[in-house]
Structure 1
């Protein structure tokens, strides 16, 4: 269900742009992001911090786009969000006894400390890289190219990076006990 919720803002943005323009798309993504925050709350009775941060960032940058009639603000938002993700991940190497990815609640992955640190650093660099790539696309391509990149590119790049990480972490995936006994 969470994966479907994650797709709603991108779909709303793309459909708003495809049907009308960047300003309708901006309004649609703001509404969609706050709707995702509310839906997550209703389903899980807790706030998802990344959804909330993305919604607030879209609210601020989207409002600037709408008020000033300048799409550059909404175009910069992904770079801001991804740079913040990178800083938080990188900063977790210096705060606390475990890196951020290691602190996330999960039971499926049990890895040595050094591998957690490397994986965390790799994700920080990945987010920094796509933040920079967004800025390159904003400043060198048309609005249409940027919209397609914003809608499809981040997902494709993220899934590709995740797939590239799998060979390094797959041996540390814990087997589900129910699958072993056929139940």
Structure 2
């Protein structure tokens, strides 16, 4: 009995130690463009932007491994998103919303992942919704097997199925299929 208790205690200690090594972080501060003052600033006194990232803004995110880094931009947002064929539709009482993501590998390692695994949306009540498999009229779907060399990019739409009456206000993206400690968050309308 004591062996099981000791093993459970050791497992808990290891889990706590691993979690403490990489605290979760939500990044909402948009990157600034070179030579352009940050939003809400003048060129005489550059200060960081105070607004949260929105559609069109880029967030630089790090992955779990050395050299993993992406500049992630939500290029467009469609609410509601329409099916591109007559056979696939949202379930009754639901609708689709879609975000077009551009992922630019700004790191030194190859980005290899299924980008949709690490993204979700949230409504104004705090409910969060995962991605769904859907092809929409918004445009081509994001690949499910991205392999992006340093300096290269991947572009595609990711779709979510949400209740018809939910007001979606946030989109989140996390590298490493959602397991990296840094998450980017954009406000949508």
TM-score by length of 1: 0.26
Look at both structures and tell me which one has the larger radius of gyration over its CA atoms. 2
Greater helix percent: which structure?
Answer: 1
TM-score by length of 2: 0.25
Greater strand percent: which structure?
Answer: 2
